[in-house]
Amino acid sequence: MKLALLILEDERPVREALRRDLAAFARHVRIEEAEDVPTALEVIEEIDAAGDRLALVMADHRLPGTSGVDFLIGLAADDRAFATRKVLVTGQADQDDTIRAINEAGLDRYVAKPWQADALRDLVREQLTEFVLAAGVDPLPHLAVLDAERALSIVRERGDL
């Protein structure tokens, strides 16, 4: 089982920039891209069918068709995305959209474009750790991409089985 990270972004250069800045995670995390919401839903179906877990979605707001915020609101009720962490990566969400994303989608973080690569990596590590803790996933296979100290706090409660 792999942790999956979904990038939902219609602009190709932005997707590539995200993927480049998150390259350090690519060895341990399944990184998927989608340019619009229907593609994103297909990707989620693929992740689920492969037995992987959608740990983190990084979505832009302005997309052709359904908006990123509406996608995240739908995701909040999706069993395939239980405990999935939601991050809005955008420069263009207005106040109302942002309020809806927080109140209705349970938005976890907001990243304003342009982002700082280091801060973004820290944020992804933190959010993957939050997912593993909330979803009850065994952290050991994913330790390399997690905040080790927090991840090990679950392991310590296992005892010497």
Name the residues that contact other proteins, by CB under 8 A.
51, 73, 75-84, 103-104, 106, 135-136, 139-141, 143-144, 148-149, 152-153, 155-161
Q: Which is nearer to other proteins, 16 or 138 (CB)?
A: 138
Phi, psi of 32 (to 5 degrees): -120, 150
In angstroms, the CA 111 to CA 117 distance is 11
Q: Could you list the beta-strand ranges (E) of the chain.
A: 3-8, 29-34, 53-59, 85-90, 109-112
Dist. CA 153–CA 127, nearest whole Å: 16
* Nearer to other proteins (CB atom), residue 77 or residue 114: 77
Least distance between other proteins and beta carbon 53 (Å): 10
Nearest residue (CB) to other proteins, 18 versus 130: 130
Minimal distance, residue 51 CB to other proteins, in Å: 8
